[in-house]
Each structure stands twice: as C-alpha cells, then as structure tokens.
Amino acid sequence: MTTTTNTRLFILVTGAAGRIGSYFTKNANKQKYKLRLMVHPSNPPEEVESLKSHGEVIEAELEKVESLLKACEGVHTVFHLAGQPTAKKSGVKRVIYASSIHAISGYPIDTQVRTIDLVNPGDLYGVSKCFGEALGRYMGEQEGLSTIAIRIGSYQPYSIIKDESRSAAFMNSWLSQPDAVHLFERCIDAPLTLKFAIVHGLSRNTFNRMDINSTCELLGYDPQDNFFQAQECFKPLNITNRFPTFSLHDSQQKSGLRDKSPEQTKEN
C-alpha cells in the first residue's frame, strides 16, 4: 500500500552529484516528485550544471546545521541524511538512509542474509553503516521520524556487468540502476505508518547474497534485472531457467548455495 496525493512530494536528495544520487535525480518520476538537489561546494561545476534541469540545486554541507535546516525546509522526504536530527527539526516526514551490503558482509559467503538477521559487518565501513541503521531505528521508533535503511548492493551500470573481465564479483550482489530508482521510489511512497525498516537493495539475481523477499512484500518492490541474464557469457548455460531465483523461501535452499540442482533432486 502506498500513499496518494494530488501534489508532488518534495524530496531532498543529498549527494545529488554522486553516482547514485545523480542517476536517481535524472530518472526519478518528475510527475510525482519535486526535487531539491543538495551538492557539496567542492563538486565540479559541470556536474552541478547537469542537474539544474532536474530540480532546485543548492550547495550545503552536512557538517553545517544551519545550511541543513534551510535545505530541509518544506521537504517531505530526505534521501539520505542517515537519521540526522536536523531533518526532524525541519518537519521532514521520512529519511531514506543509504546503508550498504557491508553491514552484513561478515557472514560466511555461503549464507544468504535476511533483513531480520543481526548486523555483521566485515570492515570498518560496514561498522559505520550499522551505526547509521541503529540511529535510523532510534529516530523512527523513539522520535517518530519514519526511516528506511536500504542496504545497497553492488550498484553498477549495464556496461560494467557486460564486461566479463570486471563483472564476476557482482553476480550475487548486483543492483542495476533502473531497479535502484524503482526501489527508492517505493521507499518514498511507503505509508508513513512505517516507522522503521531495513530493506535489501539487490536486483532479482538468480543467486543473491541478501534475501529480497521481505523487501518485495513490504514495499511492492519488483526488480526486473538479473545478473545471469545481463552477462552474455552465462546465457548458453541457461542458468535462469534451470535454477529458480535464489531465495530463503525455496525448499531446496539450505545455508546459501544449492547442494543439488532441481534435476538432480528429482533423480534422487
């Protein structure tokens, strides 16, 4: 279920000139969302200029509270201030925090992680994302500022995925650019009664490091891309038809990778 309105929701995008922010900014549904695009003063002028046709561009720094308060004025949703109290003071309704797959990268590689599993960072970057998730939960459940933390996987364009020399590391963690935009919009549109949630940002890959079923059910997320369909070298293997999507709801699934293919299971 999503919220409905006759007017466009006012969205503040921090880091709008970055890889994820710029793609979302240029591809978000402008009929539904009015964008305020926050860039850092150090961003190259040509990057900032390319954003101006997509929304109101402002320069601000996260470390300066006064500039953040001004950036948040009149905003419905902030993407992605990580639960900054400044957002609540400005009357913002929701914060969407860009967490990371690194928050759970400490689990064994053959374990598919659910949103309800405990955090298990594999590096200090992951530790910082765990803190952001905890702060988001506090802001949502104790302060009433709806917060959704998205554990973003390997956010890569099609050009990288189609490059056989560079793409193998992303086969179980890819999040395509179109699927990312779709997921972000589903987070924006989620009912404000949702005070806090952790969701997993991966495409519908045949094998996924993080389970996306709860994310799909909670938000109506419907990713369209699959690493094994996008990467040409795997197409002759027909992997997407031989193996259903990697999922904890799959009775064949144990702790991560299948022990047997469906054909082998039938024979035994």
Per-residue pLDDT of the chain (268 residues; tens, 9 = 90+): 444 446 899 999 999 999 999 999 999 999 999 999 999 898 899 999 999 999 999 998 877 888 888 899 999 999 974 345 677 778 899 999 999 999 999 999 889 999 999 999 999 999 999 999 999 999 999 999 999 999 999 999 999 999 988 888 899 999 999 999 999 999 999 999 999 999 999 999 999 999 999 999 999 999 999 998 898 777 666 555 545 444 433 333 333 333 333 333 333 3
Q: Do the beta carbons of residue 70 and residue 121 sit within 8 Å?
A: no
Any domain includes 61: yes
Cut 0.75: pTM above it: yes
| Residue listed under structure tokens 């990268």 | 105
Q: Do the beta carbons of residue 31 and residue 53 sit within 8 Å?
A: no
Coil, helix or strand at residue 216: helix
* The predicted structure's pLDDT at residue 3: 44
Any domain includes 32: yes
Number of domains in the chain: 1
* The predicted structure's pLDDT at residue 84: 57
Domain that holds residue 24: 9-267
* Nearest alpha carbon to residue 175 among 165, 160, 186, 191: 160
Any domain includes 80: yes
* The predicted structure's pLDDT at residue 81: 47
Q: Do the beta carbons of residue 210 and residue 175 sit within 8 Å?
A: no
Q: Do the beta carbons of residue 117 and residue 123 sit within 8 Å?
A: no
Q: What is the CATH number of the domain that holds 93?
A: 3.40.50.720
Any domain includes 107: yes
